[in-house]
Structure 1
């Protein structure tokens, strides 16, 4: 099974699917913000950045999936984005489920001075909402609960693919005349 997953990770199709899934989630976030008028909070912006990490991992893997170093770089970057997003969304969910005046999300985002995304792209990375607000649900789950699920799935996928790189065995490169 791990060998099969390792073989799949050498194909551009899998990385394209990863890129498309993260891209669609980013577009959905922008639609919620600009189309439906749901203002993102600071935690939403941080979760968006983590999702961009997954998107860039898909792009790195798409560029050169057969090169082990590029594939591992993409997997590590994607796993970081997925785990960071999971931790952020769990913290965000706590803000929503247990609103306390002494435990609230920050008012402004804190990006490094060398990467001020909120100043470079304010229409994407400028927070205007409150973390404890719940303004959207689907099937009885809030947006943040869906993000916990999504980031957990991404984390599991990246972890399994990363494990397959070390435990999956060697990939045989036989040239075939017909596939």
Structure 2
């Protein structure tokens, strides 16, 4: 029995996205690195890829595999966009670090005017964590390209 079946490759790609998503939550809630707006954007492709992988393991159809590959490529694109902002290759979106654009809708009037416990504003152009000279966004992009490759390999396998 071959190990690199379409189902197994879909599962591997889904587990990769799950690992990255859980890693982001670990860095946020255990290590204490608050995510910026662009960091939060980068989590969406992983959420979608996890759901696609769950469906794809049960129904390994080509359309699921194609959507998985596209989702991984979108994740890589968002990571590249964020890396460019961190390295000052280009400007970030208006919502990055703009206190007026942060989500303040759930705060009371007292919380809005309390300067000691107000919401943290995390700048998109400051890498909070680096490894081997690359930021978390850069590593996410590299791994997303690898996950797109796994989805692509799954596309080359028969659905059986």
Scaled by the length of structure 2, the TM-score of the pair is: 0.73
Contact 1:51 1:85 in 2 (8 A): yes
Find the counterpart in structure 2 of residue 44 from structure 1.
39
1:138 and 2:125 are equivalent in the alignment: no
Shift of 1:99: 6.2
Contact 1:33 1:39 in 2 (8 A): yes
Contact 2:36 2:122 in 1 (8 A): yes
Find the counterpart in structure 2 of residue 159 from structure 1.
152
Q: Give the SS at the match of 1:79.
A: helix
List structure 1 runs of 4+ shifted beyond 4 angstroms: none
Q: How many residues align?
A: 137
Matches within 5 A, 1:109-124: none
| CA offsets 1:41-100 (integer angstroms, 9 cap, x no match) | 1211111001112111211112223xxxxx223212211211111111111111011166
Matches within 5 A, 1:1-179: 8-9=5-6, 12-65=7-60, 71-98=61-88, 103-107=91-95, 128-162=121-155, 164=156
CA distance in 2, matches of 1:158, 1:52: 15
Gap change, CA 1:88 and 1:52, over 3 Å in 2: same
The structure, 1 or 2, with the larger RCO (C-alpha pairs under 8 Å, 6+ apart) is: 2
Which sections of structure 2, spanning at least 5 residues, go unmatched? 97-105, 107-119
Shift of 1:130: 1.6
RMSD across aligned positions (CA): 2.7
